[in-house]
Structure 1
């Protein structure tokens, strides 16, 4: 299943008997199922970027009387779906139907008009407020719960967000106003600034910007990497500079080198951590990146050179994504990867995606 997940970005659903449970509460009777025995199942689901669709019906899909241990019931059968599948079939529901010819329930997947409140089992794409309460109490994210409920990239992004030491409640903040409160005036100013543009990053006019984004979305890259490019281009990645603006961290200084403010440009190009990766690269950019350039400035310059160096733009974005991902892993206490390894993984991602999506002859 893990091998199949990397061959295509098409929506998919995997349904049937997995002969394993995800949580201890999915079993009744018999011995206790240890967390370590379930962890391998979680890891495969996360690597495949799938999620449990949930169910309507009994809490258990399999039951059997095991002599001295009595009746044992488990939820072994389920439907695992990709995010794109949920988007394509938002009204789909999985029903558990009892049968007398098997010790497993019958699985029935169909589109319905059931209201969400009548649906049982794990919710898809939800965030439980109690997780945040637990995190506030210990001042640490619950890594196991994040791994169970979020995609791997989402989990890394969440772990990269520092928790406040004051244990204050969350609130909505409008980033375009110093007070954090939304005003029509601040929104109007924001629109005017976007229309005027400033530098290459915002493009001189709307048509040029649309042309640039259209070219980026057409690149032969995984959707998650293009989404990263979109966030970097909009300057909305969770860099320390952006976190400091929102009062999440006390300052925006890079915690890896301590030499400068951790802007997106510093993170991806000028930090010693990033420089190690680019030093190991086999290609040289056909220009020098200025300290004042934004992410879109670099992409626009690379796009001009695309006819001379095919796939350079794709490899550059994939490498930047690898640097960002590795940085978040280090920030969350992980081991991280060497620069050569990050570059090699980026090259493999680009090549594997190209091969998988080549027209069949």
Structure 2
């Protein structure tokens, strides 16, 4: 993975200027990344990372700063993301790479979450899920955001479900006997 100022851009859309981009430079940068088997990681935020700080027709804005990685890195850290931050002190916007590794949950100790079918019969169950889903802060995007929402739903359902009084085996037996006598 490589991150920083490449002083080059990949697409015509990554430059705003009165002077048109030179396609030979774009092609050369694409060829270099392809030769090194590197892919652009994309970004969130403002589309340009550099400006000449001029106004009017003299103003130029370009996406020069980026993060690129090979396929193995992308597969290992598939939930990672790049964000363009704001800055008033430099011609370049700072960029940040948040690295997230997707790990299988098989290696966790303890019990995993299991919803009890009886919870679905209780009217409040849907409200618990909806409230938990919508109360997660939107700090993450994509699969990472969905994972956080699911985790929050699990936590809330466990707390809510375990707080509800569940009948004990002997209560169930007594109710079953009453049902049998009614038949």
After TM superposition, the score normalised by the length of structure 2 is 0.53
State the distance in 2 between where 1:115 and 1:90 align: 10
**One of 77, 86, 97 as aligned partner of 1:109:** 97
| Match of residue 49 from structure 1 | 37
RMSD of aligned alpha carbons: 1.9
CA-CA distance at 1:109 after TM superposition = 0.6
Q: Greater RCO between the two (CA within 8 Å, min separation 6)? A: 2
Counterpart among 46, 49, 65 of residue 61 in structure 1: 49
Pairs within 5 Å for 1:1-361: 13-66=1-54, 69-111=57-99, 113-115=140-142
Separation in structure 2 between the aligned mates of residue 30 and residue 79 of structure 1, nearest angstrom: 27
Cα distance change, pair 101–57 in 1 and its aligned pair in 2 (3 A): same
CA contact (8 A) 2:87 2:93 kept: yes
**1:20 to partner: Cα distance:** 0.8
Question: Contact 2:53 / 2:91 at 8 angstroms: preserved in 1?
Answer: no
2:104 equivalent in structure 1: none
Q: How far off its partner does 1:66 sit?
A: 4.2
Structure 1 unaligned regions, length at least 5: 1-12, 119-361
Find the aligned partners of 2:44 and 2:21 in 1 and give their Cα distance.
24
Report how many residues are paired.
Answer: 105
SS of 1:37's partner is helix
Q: Which has the larger radius of gyration?
A: 2
1:230-260 deviation per Cα after TM superposition (whole angstroms, max 9, x unaligned)? xxxxxxxxxxxxxxxxxxxxxxxxxxxxxxx
Does the C-alpha gap of structure 1 residues 67 and 95 become closer, same or farther in structure 2, counting only changes over 3 Å?
A: closer
From the superposition, tell whether residues 68 and 90 of structure 1 become closer, same or farther in structure 2 (CA, over 3 Å): closer
1-side partners of 2:56 and 2:142: how far apart?
42
Query: After TM superposition, what 4+ stretches of structure 1 lie above 6 angstroms from structure 2?
Result: none
Q: Which runs of 5+ in 2 are unaligned?
A: 101-139, 146-183
- CA distance in 1: counterparts of 2:141 and 2:40, whole angstroms: 18
Q: Distance in 2 between matches of 1:48 and 1:72?
A: 29
Q: Distance in 2 between matches of 1:19 and 1:47?
A: 18
TM-score (norm 1): 0.28
Q: Matches of 2:90 and 2:75 in 1, distance apart?
A: 33
Instruction: Supply the distance in 2 between the matched residues of 1:66 and 1:99 (Cα, whole angstroms).
Output: 16
